[in-house]
Structures are given as C-alpha cells and as structure tokens.
Amino acid sequence: MKNIGNKVQYQIYSTMTNPDPNRLPISYEEWEKQAREVLEDGPFYYVAGGAGGERTMRANVAAFEQRKLIPRMLRNVEERDLSVELLGYTFPSPILQAPIGVQSIIHPEGELASAKASAEMGIPYIASSASSVPMEKIAEAMEDAARWFQLYWSKDPDVTASFLRRAEASGYSAIVVTLDTPMMAWREDDLKNVYLPFLIGEGVGNYFTDPAFNAKLEKSPKEDPTAAIMYWTQIFGNPGLTWDDISFIQEHTNLPVLLKGIMHPDDAKLALEYGVNGIIVSNHGGRQVDGTQGALDALPKVCNVIQDRIPVLMDSGIRRGSDVIKALALGAKGVLVGRPCMYGLAVAGQRGVMEVLRNIVADLDITLGLSGYRTVRDIDHSVLDQTNVEVEQIK
Ligand SMILES: Cc1cc2nc3c(=O)[nH]c(=O)nc-3n(C[C@H](O)[C@H](O)[C@H](O)COP(=O)(O)O)c2cc1C
Ligand SMILES: O=C(O)C(=O)c1ccccc1
C-alpha cells in the first residue's frame, strides 16, 4: 500500500468531470446516517448503541478529540510505507477488521461480504464466534487471505475446544479471546426495542453446525430450533472463568492467543504472567461497561506494563486516519475498526466495507506524511502535544 492516499484521492477527484451516480459516502458521519436510513430500528440500534447511558461510547470519541498531533516539517515524506509486522506476519497496514457478530441483521450477505472486502484489501479479518455463517464458510470465501478467529469462551468446554479445533483446521492464524462479554451488557436501546437477534436464531452459525454443541441436544437445531437457542443462551458465556483457566485455551490450540478487552494495567501484567501472545485494549466499543475510561486513555499505562514484550492492539473509537496515528503514538502496534465497517456493509455490502477500509487507509497514509512520518513504525509519543495530558503515563 505505497502512497495509497494519493492514489485514492486521484481516483476520486478524477470522476469530477464524469460523476459516479452510485457514489458512496466519505465521512463516518455520513455512512452512519445512510445506514440509519436502510436499517430498521432493531438492527440499527443494536449496531450503533452502547451500554447504559452510552458514556463509554462518548469517552472513546472524546479521548481521541483530546489528544492533539503536532506535525513535523521538511522530513521527506515522498515515499511512505504503512506496513507492520504482527506475530511474525507482515500486513499492509496497521488496520484490522474488528470481530463483529450477527452480520445477517445488517446485510443479507453478512460476514461473507465483510470478509471478502478484507481479503480484497489485504486487511486481516477477525471472524466472530457469533457469526451468522460458520467460520469454515468465511474461510472459504477468503481463500488464502489473512484471518484470525475471535473466541467467545463458552461455558461448555467441549464447544470451546471444538471451536479452537475448527479455527485451526480452517486456516485462521490467531485466536482472539474476548474477555469483556461473559454476559450481554445492560443495553437500553435493545431493551427498549425488545431486540436480541440470537433469540430469533441469528448469529448462531458456528454453534448450530458444531458437533460438540449438537451432541448436547436431543434433537438437531433444524428439528427443534427453540431448544437449540435455549441451550445456546445457557452456554454462550461463562462469568465463572478466572486467569488460571487461560491454560485451557493454550492447551487446546497451537495458534497465538490474544486477549481482547484488557483495560487495566494490572490485567496487562497478568496477561504477561499467563504467557499470552498479545492483547487488545478495548472496551468493546462502549457496549459492555458504561462509564469506563476511553480505550485510547487506557493504552499508555497498559503499554508501560507490556514494554514491547508482546504486541498491544487497540479498538473502540477508530474512525479516521488521525485516530490510528494517535493510537500508534500511545503504543499500539495495530488497531481494529468496528462500526465504520458495519455501516459500510449496511449501505453497500462488500463494496461498502471496501470503501470504508480503503478510505481509512488512504486518510492514514496522507495524514502520516503530513505529520512528518514515512512509516507507521516511526511514530512515537513525540508526535503528540504533551500539554494537559498525564505525561508520566506516556513512558
Ligand atoms: C454490532 C457489534 C457486534 C459485535 N460483536 C462482537 C463479537 O462478536 N465479538 C467481539 O469480540 N467483539 C464484538 N464487537 C466489538 C468489536 O469487536 C469492537 O471491539 C468494537 O466495535 C470497536 O469499537 P468501534 O465500533 O467504536 O470501532 C461487536 C461490536 C458491534 C458494534
Ligand atoms: O453485540 C456485541 O457487542 C457482541 O459482542 C456480541 C455478543 C454475542 C453475540 C454477538 C455479538
């Protein structure tokens, strides 16, 4: 993706004399607005909403607003390179697609469209345990493109072990264990709309095709979907887990294990002690605990603990190129993009997700150069204004 920003800008401006009648939005706000127009209340608020009074969602955005970049001049930024190395793989940019379940409520092609968009762009795709279609179908659609599997750690250990086996067998190259969702949060929009997609059999593609899951049912999910959904609600999450259980995951996979949902520096310390291969600083896009710190604000202390021993990624609030730069400046090695991709999916399926990703990457490339950097690896906290922030947090 060398100088991709200039190429995308040129491509867009070159339609000036011959406008494209099917033009898609550019800004995050416009994508969200158009998604609102095409989705019913239930699905739209399921995606757009957060936990409680949405204070965490606002804190995520505010954290990016509060940090300020100070660009550097005259540093030859003619040839830029966005590539990064993560867990021994080289990726074209530090951007990954966040794991998002139940995409059938957003677009009929769901995960197959978003996964193909990722494959086309070379952007790693993190498939959710709660995908509408089984992980093998996503893998097939992506051919040999980079993909990780996000595990919802089931209360049924046979299901967990089976998911790990299936992910390895279908070519996923890392396991992302999401720790912040052992149960669904108090989500006011969904309660108001009386909307929970799983209860109507959406987002259970991996479970209903799983031999370990089906072995626990008297009748197959096809014969008795209600009983299968009931069993799913019992085993989906496990609030009883502790750090000592991490060994179960490590014993059941040869893939690198990343923990998603780490916010506290003491949990970062535990992640190191328990020998995981990476962490993702995240508050789940403000969908789990209302009133937490913005995820960006949790990064410096976490990175201080980790000291580059394992990669730290982050998500929750990434909307534009400059957000990516701020996250990298505070120690992240990569970032996950969530809702923006889903608004792209709602508005225009695979093409929509591709354009959302392409535009964030293009914006990142241009903003990187204009800030005085040729590669994302060169970014550090010196690009940030240190006034009015807790300087001691930034190392
Ligand atoms: C509709 C929706 C479904 C999600 N499903 C999952 C999931 O299945 N697994 C998971 O680990 N995170 C899930 N997330 C959280 C995302 O992976 C990510 O942490 C979050 O969206 C990042 O914040 P952002 O939307 O502000 O970019 C979901 C988020 C949304 C919006
Ligand atoms: O809605 C979510 O945020 C989420 O993570 C989830 C949880 C279970 C199934 C699907 C998505």
Instruction: Judge whether 258 and 175 are in contact, CB under 8 Å.
Output: yes
* Residue positions counted in the chain: 395
* Distance from Cα 100 to the centre of ligand 2, integer Å: 7
- For residue 356, give the ligand nearest its CA: 1
Whether pTM exceeds 0.95: yes
**CB of residue 99 inside a 6 A radius of ligand 1:** yes
The number of domains in the chain is: 1
* Ligand whose nearest atom lies closest to the CA of 260: 1
Report the nearest-CA residue for atom 31 of ligand 1.
Answer: 47
The helix-helix angle for 339-370 and 41-48 (nearest 10°) equals 40
Residue whose CB lies within 8 A of the most ligand 2 atoms, among 105, 152, 198, 233, for a mutation test: 152
Distance 370 CA to ligand 1 centre (A): 30
Decide whether any atom of ligand 1 lies within 6 Å of the 259 Cβ.
no
Question: Are 147 and 126 within 8 A, CB to CB?
Answer: yes
**What was the pLDDT predicted at 2?**
85
Q: In this predicted structure, what is the pLDDT of residue 1?
A: 73
Q: What is the Cα–Cα distance from 337 to 320, expressed in whole angstroms?
A: 10
Query: DSSP of 256-318, one letter per residue?
Result: -EEEEEE-SHHHHHHHHHTT-SEEEE--GGGTSSTTPPPHHHHHHHHHHHHTTSS-EEE-SS-
110 Cβ inside 6 Å of ligand 1: no
In a domain, 393, yes or no: no
Residue 46 is classified by DSSP as H
Alpha carbon of 260 to ligand 1 centroid (Å): 11
Rg (CA), the chain: 20
Residue 203 in contact with ligand 2 by CB distance below 6 A: yes
pLDDT at 392: 44
Q: Is residue 207 part of a domain?
A: yes
For tokens 């964030």, the residue is 360
ipTM reported for the complex surpasses 0.95: yes
Which residue bears the tokens 């989906």?
A: 236
> 14 C-alpha to center of ligand 1: Å?
35
Q: Which protein residue has the closest C-alpha to ligand 2 atom 9?
A: 130
Of 107, 264, 284, 381, the active-site residue reads 284
Instruction: Check pocket membership of 261 for ligand 1, CB cut-off 6 A.
Output: no
The verdict on whether 284 is a catalytic residue reads: yes
Q: What is the pLDDT along the chain (395 residues), one digit of tens a residue?
A: 789 999 999 999 999 999 999 999 999 999 999 999 999 999 999 999 999 999 999 999 999 999 999 999 999 999 999 999 999 999 999 999 999 999 999 999 999 999 999 999 999 999 999 999 999 999 999 999 999 999 999 999 999 999 999 999 999 999 999 999 999 999 999 999 999 999 999 999 999 999 999 999 999 999 999 999 999 999 999 999 999 999 999 999 999 999 999 999 999 999 999 999 999 999 999 999 999 999 999 999 999 999 999 999 999 999 999 999 999 999 999 999 999 999 999 999 999 999 999 999 999 999 999 999 999 999 999 999 998 665 445 54
Do 59 and 286 contact (CB within 8 A), yes or no? Answer: yes
User: Is there an atom of ligand 2 within 6 Å of 63 CB?
Assistant: no
| 83 SS3 class | coil
Q: What is the widest separation between alpha-carbon atoms in the chain?
A: 70
Amino acid at 389: V
334: in domain: yes
Residue 390, pLDDT score? 56
For residue 156, how far is the Cα from the chain centroid?
25
Residues 6+ apart with CB under 8 A from 25: 31, 33, 34, 347
Q: Would 392 be classed as within a structural domain?
A: no
Ligand nearest to the CA of 111: 1
Look at residue 88 and give its three-state secondary structure.
coil
Ligand 2, pocket-test mutation among 47, 60, 102, 339, most atoms within 8 A of CB: 102
- In this structure, is residue 90 part of a structural domain? yes
8 A C-beta contact, residue 163 and residue 208: no
Tell me the pairing of strands 312-314 and 334-337. Answer: parallel
Q: How far is the CA of 387 from the centre of ligand 1 (A)?
A: 32
Domain annotation covers residue 228: yes
Ligand 2, atom 8, residue with closest C-alpha: 130
Q: How far is the CA of 336 from the centre of ligand 1 (A)?
A: 9
- CA dist 394 and 329 (Å) reads 9
- Does residue 84 belong to any structural domain of this protein? yes
Is 395 inside a domain boundary? no
Residue 125, helix vs strand vs coil: strand
Mutate to test the pocket of ligand 1, among 163, 287, 336 (most ligand atoms within 8 A of CB): 287
Residue 363 sits in a domain of what CATH number?
3.20.20.70
Counting from 1 in the atom list of ligand 2, the atom nearest the Cα of 46 is: 1
Q: Does the beta carbon of 43 sit less than 6 angstroms from any atom of ligand 2?
A: no
Task: Supply the pLDDT for residue 75.
Answer: 98
* C-beta of 130 in contact with ligand 1 (< 6 A): yes
Ligand 1 pocket residue status of 101, Cβ below 6 Å: yes
Bridge partner list, 256: none
Which structural domain, as residue segments, surrounds residue 31? Answer: 4-385
Name the β-bridge partners of 167: none
Q: Whose Cα sits closest to atom 1 in ligand 2? A: 101
